[in-house]
Structure 1
């Protein structure tokens, strides 16, 4: 089986998480600058087989799209153009940043490390991917 790769897309940074090859466990991979995301994915896909992308879908509490959805739509068009053979699915990402921060607190991560936004983005991507896996 191939991996599933999840993205917590952001204007500046994007958190990335992947499954194991059996698609059982979601693990944080890294965080990259968003401007370097496509080159990073091209390199990654030369080394690993990815079955699908899961991209976080930010929503307001009333289920309407958040402001950042417009930015994500532009990225999705590019992603599908560069990797047309890999399907893209969306996963509600409400509360993932808060949950990521809380998991860092619960894990005893020091205050200085908790300020690392890249770490929060990677954990958020992992939570998005785990929520996607839990749907099935």
Structure 2
């Protein structure tokens, strides 16, 4: 069994989380510049067995697609083209940034550490992945 990788896509940075080989635990992996995401994924897939990519799906409160979904379309197309045999699934990412920030507070990180947007993105990706795993729909 391979890992599941999750992406919290942003125009500037993308947070990345990954499961263990048994697909039980979600852990933050890193944050990369979005323009370097495909290069990072190619390198990661070359050294780790990955079964699936879960991409955060930005939604409005009424469950309709968020405006930022338009920015994600090119990424989704590129992922499908470059990794044609890799299943790509979506997971609702509403409130993940707020939940990530709260997690940082609850973890005792100081104010300066909480301003680290890369860490917020990585934690958000972890929350997206944990939410996906919690549904047991795979």
2:20 paired residue number: 20
1:35 paired residue number: 35
SS at match of 2:14: strand
Deviation track 1:17-74 (CA, whole Å, cap 9, x = no partner) reads: 0000000000000000000000000000110010000000000101111111011111
Counterpart CA distance in 2 for 1:53 and 1:42 is: 13
2:76 paired residue number: 76
Counterpart CA distance in 1 for 2:73 and 2:57 is: 10
Please give the residue correspondences for 1:1-136 in structure 2 after superposition, counting only pairs within 5 Å: 1-136=1-136
Q: Count residues with an aligned counterpart.
A: 136
Q: Which consecutive residues of structure 2, in runs of 5 or more, have no partner in the other structure?
A: none
Normalised to the residue count of structure 1, the TM-score between the two structures is 0.99
Normalised to the residue count of structure 2, the TM-score between the two structures is 0.98
Q: Which consecutive residues of structure 1, in runs of 5 or more, have no partner in the other structure?
A: none
Counterpart CA distance in 1 for 2:32 and 2:46 is: 17
RMSD, matched Cα: 0.4
Counterpart CA distance in 2 for 1:86 and 1:12 is: 24
List structure 1 segments (4+ residues) > 3 angstroms apart after TM superposition: none
